[in-house]
Structure 1
Amino acid sequence: MEEDYYLGAYWGPRNETALECARRAELFFHMLARCDPTFTQWYRAGRGAPRDLPGWPLRPELKELESLFLKGRNRTDVGREVIEDLGFRLMVWNAKKEATKLHLSCGKYSPWGGPNSCLLYPPRQGAVRERLLRLPVLTEVLTCMATAWDPDYAIVNSTEMVDLIKKRKWERRVGWLTYLSRRLGRLPPLPAPVRIEPVGALGWLLVLSPEPMTAANPEHVALTARVRELLDRAGFIESPEPAPASE
């Protein structure tokens, strides 16, 4: 059975305006387009989109992205008031069938409602999926995420592996590829065959295997668990749990 892989970058509360988020998104889309041809055109939802297209074509330009982030603000159910501290959201995709989906959540500075994130979901089957789930492409995409969004951490993993490895509700996860920001601490020695590559002055990219890591392979599970344990001892895994809301 095929596992469901995804790429995710995550960071804690960061009070940024729609314009600041748009600058990051503009950089990300332009960098992403150089990783693979399937990333050159994205579409968004909206009434009246051309029937022959997956949606309204997205122009990854600063003003359009700022406008879309402002439209994607979280609002209250009653009164539709903007919830400022929950930031902005944007979801796009690139095809009608076997689509790659991209979810952005940024500008959030509330400790509640989950982290800021940039999530990319490859197709669940097909030739594009096979091309994207190769180490050189994944390395480039994760580097783009780290460069544009400056997350605390980012991973390439399958949901099945996450379910096996994760031990706490609030924790930074380890995957087939894992990016860790330098602001989290100092990396401990890690066992072979883990490869460590710097990502500029921002952080490190850990590559656990040149081949896809699967939850069906006991050796892959054991290596991922071991790396997680070592990083946990070094303070990289535990993520502060939001404090209870004051009454």
Structure 2
Amino acid sequence: MTETYYAGVYWPGRPEPLETYARRAEALFQGLASTDPSLATWYEQARSREAALLSRFSPDALSLQQLFAKTKYQPGEGELSFSAWNGSADDSSVINFSCGSPVPDAVDLCVWTPAARGLLSERSASQVLKAMVMAWEPEWGVVISDEHRDAVSEAGDVGTFIGWMTYFSRDRGPVPPLPDLVRVEPVQDRGTLVILTPERFTLSRPEHVALAEEVRVQLQRAGLLEPLGAP
């Protein structure tokens, strides 16, 4: 089975000024660039590869604010929905974020989708997730395969399951002691990152699945696996 992975961070709807989104996006792109050279150059997504390659943008706050002001990136007043592609044919990555919805119980998000056949390492995945955390200040985040998510969460409700890596903001509460194989590390003063395995987590390895279930039970008992925004 070939598993396809993504990294995502999520937080309760938080409308902010456009210039704030631009500053957060600048921090995001700076963090991604420091992770890997393939994440240093970005283009607006378009209907074709050729069109996208004509839409390279500078990921600084001023340029991003001007870019985000385009009508096509504002689905509603005060909202932002934007996707960017790194332009690489061999190591294609897409980053997208959607935020600012005034609808009650809305979920804001930022998701990174790496190349389907790329060799996603623990280092690159954790650094991308940390960059997203530092930029967006989410409540919860995860690095997981689509197949793993579907296996553990029928509805895919964010905040309620764990992946290869799972981030919990400090507002969610402390992470309890976990098995020795699991790495638990702070993300500055924002929260805690739980990494199940140093190698890429996969459903094809029974020991990975068993460890994930053991950790899930402990985190569930600690009250950390609740729907986003739950009191």
| Matched residue type, 1:84 | E
TM-score by length of 1: 0.83
Residues 44 and 57 of structure 1 are in contact (CA less than 8 Å); yes or no, is this contact kept in structure 2? yes
- Percent pairwise identity: 36
Normalising by structure 2, report the TM-score.
Answer: 0.89
Shift of 1:106: 2.0
SS at match of 2:10: strand
Alpha carbons of structure 1 residues 50 and 176: separation in structure 2 relative to 1, 3 Å? closer
Q: Which residue of 144, 151, 176 maps to 2:131?
A: 144
**Bigger radius of gyration among the two:** 1
Instruction: Report if aligned partners of 2:10, 2:158 keep a CA contact under 8 Å in 1.
Output: no
Corresponding residue number in structure 1 for 2:184: 196
Q: Which runs of 5+ in 1 are unaligned?
A: 75-82, 243-247
Runs of 4 or more off by more than 3 Å in structure 1? 49-53, 167-171
Query: Which residue of structure 1 aligns with residue 74 of structure 2?
Result: 73
5+ unaligned residues in a row in structure 2: which ranges? none
With over 3 angstroms needed to count, the CA separation of the structure-2 counterparts of 1:232 and 1:106, relative to structure 1, is same
Count of residues in Structure 1 that have an aligned counterpart in Structure 2: 226
CA RMSD of aligned residues (A): 2.3
Give the deviation of 1:219 after TM superposition: 1.9
What is the alpha-carbon distance in structure 1 between the residues aligned to residue 43 and residue 131 of structure 2? 20
Which residue of structure 2 aligns with residue 158 of structure 1? Answer: 145
Counterpart mapping for 1:1-247 below 5 A: 1-45=1-45, 51=50, 54-71=53-70, 72-74=73-75, 83-84=76-77, 87-95=79-87, 97-98=89-90, 99-111=92-104, 114-125=106-117, 129-130=118-119, 133-166=120-153, 169-172=156-159, 173-239=161-227
**Residues 55 and 8 of structure 1: CA distance in aligned 2, closer, same or farther (over 3 Å):** farther
SS at match of 1:57: coil
Structure 2 Cα separation of the partners of residues 20 and 232 of structure 1: 34
Offset from partner CA, 1:49-103 (integer Å, 9 cap, x none): 99496340021021221233232111xxxxxxxx336x21110101263421111
